[in-house]
Chains A and B, each alone.
Chain A
Amino acid sequence: MSENGEGGWGALSELPGNPLMWVLILSELLVFGALLVGFAAVRLLHPQMVLAGQSALSIPLGGLNTLILVTSGWLAAHAVRLRSTGDIGGSRRRLAGAGALGLAFLVVKGFEYADKAAQGLGIETDTFWTLFYLTTGFHAAHVVMGIIILAIVGWKNTTENLETGAAFWHMVDLVWLILFPLVYLLR
């Protein structure tokens, strides 16, 4: 357990890394959880509309983005491990790889949005597309913020900074692992 987690944080002291990051992780899981339950409720109210919308989504592109994010998270976890051994160069290279894969995720997402826009499927098409763009767009905004945070902790790369930045990145990964099956696969 990192030193900053000890003393004054109550039950949060049990958690590895920065306790405030865990508050953020829990908050984000609750927010995205509520959005996804809302998405499932819309399916209950309008099953045909949601089926038609989901049928226009690309499962291979969603799957590719999942592989990109889990690989990025794996690199970020190795960056933390290498930093704790004192291998700053190796740590920075893995972190750069994690950030580059984050950019790749955004490129795939941008391609997907452009494809849907070309088909006339926009945020105002119907409730499915409103929720799709809201949920995945909100997540993509977290990816952008995560890439910025990875760049900052790669620069100011103390072990504690790296642990905290990587934790934010893993939270972004975690949210996508729940979002992807509920939005793309449960048809």
Chain B
Amino acid sequence: MSKETHSVWARRLDHAWMILAGLTIVSVVAAMLSPPGQRTSLLSVVVALVASFIKARQVLDHFLDLRRAGSGWQGLFNGLLLTVLGTCLALYLAALSR
């Protein structure tokens, strides 16, 4: 990978922060649409989990620079994140049907 200039590096970090902050606000607002004591909608659950995955990737790729690593490492971290988030979603859906 060619070496990026510092201004490009700075803009990339700023862009990642905007995505992180924006997705945090979206997932919080989506969850707060349901009153306390009641279950959140399935849509807000999906929003929270998708936002979590995207945010984790932003931190890995841009703050930790994992984007410079090979596809095997990218796949390992994707797999780990998807396994944890997917298992928790599956258990959440199973709990709904009880």
Chains A and B bind each other = yes
Q: Are B66 and A181 in contact (CB under 8 A)?
A: no
Q: A173-B59, A185-B44 are in contact. Are A60 and B83 (CB under 8 A)?
A: no
Q: Is B36 an interface residue (CB 8 A)?
A: yes
Q: Is A77 an interface residue (CB 8 A)?
A: yes
What 0/1 readout, one digit per residue, does chain B (52-66) give for beta carbons within 8 Å of chain A?
100110011011111
Question: A177 CA to B11 CA in the complex, in Å?
Answer: 22
Main secondary structure of the interface of B (DSSP, over half): helix
Q: A16-B68, A77-B13 are in contact. Are A70 and B95 (CB under 8 A)?
A: no
Pick the contact of A70 from B17, B45, B52 — CB < 8 Å? B17
Question: Which residues of A, 65-99, contact B by the 8 Å Cβ criterion?
Answer: 66-67, 70-71, 73-74, 76-78, 81, 84-85
CB distance from B89 to the nearest CB of A (A): 8
Specify the chain A residue showing the minimal Cβ separation from B83.
A33
CB distance from A17 to the nearest CB of B (A): 7
Q: A67-B21, A174-B56 are in contact. Are A55 and B63 (CB under 8 A)?
A: no
Q: A14-B73, A167-B64, A174-B60 are in contact. Are A181 and B36 (CB under 8 A)?
A: no
CB distance from A98 to the nearest CB of B (A): 11
Q: Are B44 and A33 in contact (CB under 8 A)?
A: no
Residues of B contacting A59 with CB < 8 Å? 28, 31-32
Question: A173 CA to B63 CA in the complex, in Å?
Answer: 10
Task: Give 27 A-B contacts (CB < 8 Å), ordered by A residue.
Answer: A1-B68, A11-B73, A14-B72, A17-B64, A29-B80, A29-B81, A37-B84, A44-B91, A44-B94, A47-B98, A59-B32, A63-B27, A67-B21, A70-B59, A71-B17, A71-B21, A76-B63, A78-B13, A85-B6, A170-B64, A171-B64, A173-B63, A177-B20, A181-B27, A185-B40, A186-B89, A187-B34
